[in-house]
């Protein structure tokens, strides 16, 4: 410890001065305590005000004014539409039917109200001789059988059919019932024969375009000549 009188005189004074600087007056302590007490409430109020402004500092738009209630007479209760589960009706699909391909033989035609004559056939008529042989070729009488079909649903009156090959051979028919076949005999000719039915157009038909057809006629093999018996046999 120093014996300097000046050091002794300044020591207590400095201690007193440091004590004054570190101490807080009583009035200031009260104000700080009150500030700390009200600060949470101020911050809470500030947060509420900012939230009401939408967070961007601008106040929110005013709420729309409520509509006045309608009077009871203006309120109409409209029943809501009821849903019904409707089952669609199935429409039957069209059924396909297969049609038969046409055949060369004419088929009867119904519902026309008129006859329809068409060539049907030409056949060779060759009588078989007794014993299978003939003594003379002239004994063999060849001929043709000409057949015509009336495929209409009305009878046909008399008509003529022509056989045309090298010349024309006319064959007369007395008529033909509805849906029937009639045949007449004609002289024998061979080759490509055109049969023209109703050649004179005397019968009014439902179809006038099917009166002709071509037939191939070939001369048949004639039977052999019978052997001449030897004299005295």
Query: What residue ranges in 81-179 does DSSP mark as E strands?
Result: 117-125, 143-150, 159-164, 168-173
179 assigned to some structural domain: yes
Name the token pair of 12.
């207590």
Query: What residue ranges in the chain does DSSP mark as E strands?
Result: 117-125, 143-150, 159-164, 168-173, 180-187, 191-197, 212-217
Count of domains observed in the chain: 1
Higher pLDDT, 40 or 181: 181
Mean pLDDT value across residues 29-36:
75
Mean pLDDT value across residues 105-116:
64
Contact 113, 204 (CB under 8 A): no
The residues, any chain, with a CB within 8 Å of residue 13's CB and separated by 6 or more, are none
pLDDT in tens, 146-196: 999 999 999 999 999 999 987 889 999 999 999 999 999 999 999 999 999
56 assigned to some structural domain: no
11 assigned to some structural domain: no
Contact 177, 149 (CB under 8 A): no
Kindly report which listed range (14-18, 92-96, 211-215) carries the lowest average pLDDT score.
92-96
20 assigned to some structural domain: no
172 assigned to some structural domain: yes
The residues, any chain, with a CB within 8 Å of residue 97's CB and separated by 6 or more, are none
- CATH number for the domain harbouring residue 205: 2.60.40.10
pTM of the entire structure? Answer: 0.50
pLDDT in tens, 75-88: 555 554 454 444 44
Contact 182, 159 (CB under 8 A): no
């Amino acid at each position: 410890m120093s014996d300097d009188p000046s050091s002794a005189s300044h020591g207590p004074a400095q201690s007193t001065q440091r004590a004054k600087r570190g101490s807080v007056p009583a009035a200031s302590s009260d104000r700080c305590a009150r500030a700390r007490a009200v600060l949470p409430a101020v911050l809470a109020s500030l947060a509420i005000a900012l939230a009401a402004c939408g967070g961007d500092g601008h106040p929110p738009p005013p709420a729309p004014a409520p509509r006045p209630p309608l009077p009871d007479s203006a309120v109409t209760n409209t029943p809501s539409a009821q849903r019904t589960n409707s089952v669609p009706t199935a429409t039957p699909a069209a059924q396909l039917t297969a049609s038969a391909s046409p055949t060369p033989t004419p088929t009867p035609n119904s519902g026309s109200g008129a006859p329809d004559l068409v060539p049907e056939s030409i056949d060779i008529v060759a009588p078989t001789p007794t014993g299978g042989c003939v003594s003379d070729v002239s004994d063999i009488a060849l001929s043709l059988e000409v057949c015509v079909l009336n495929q209409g649903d009305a009878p046909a009156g008399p008509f003529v059919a022509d056989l045309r090959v090298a010349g024309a051979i006319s064959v007369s028919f007395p008529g033909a019932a509805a849906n029937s076949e009639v045949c007449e005999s004609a002289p024998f000719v061979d080759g490509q024969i055109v049969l023209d039915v109703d050649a004179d157009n005397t019968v009014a038909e439902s179809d006038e375009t099917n009166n002709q057809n071509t037939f191939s006629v070939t001369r048949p093999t004639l039977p052999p000549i019978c052997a001449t018996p030897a004299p005295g046999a």
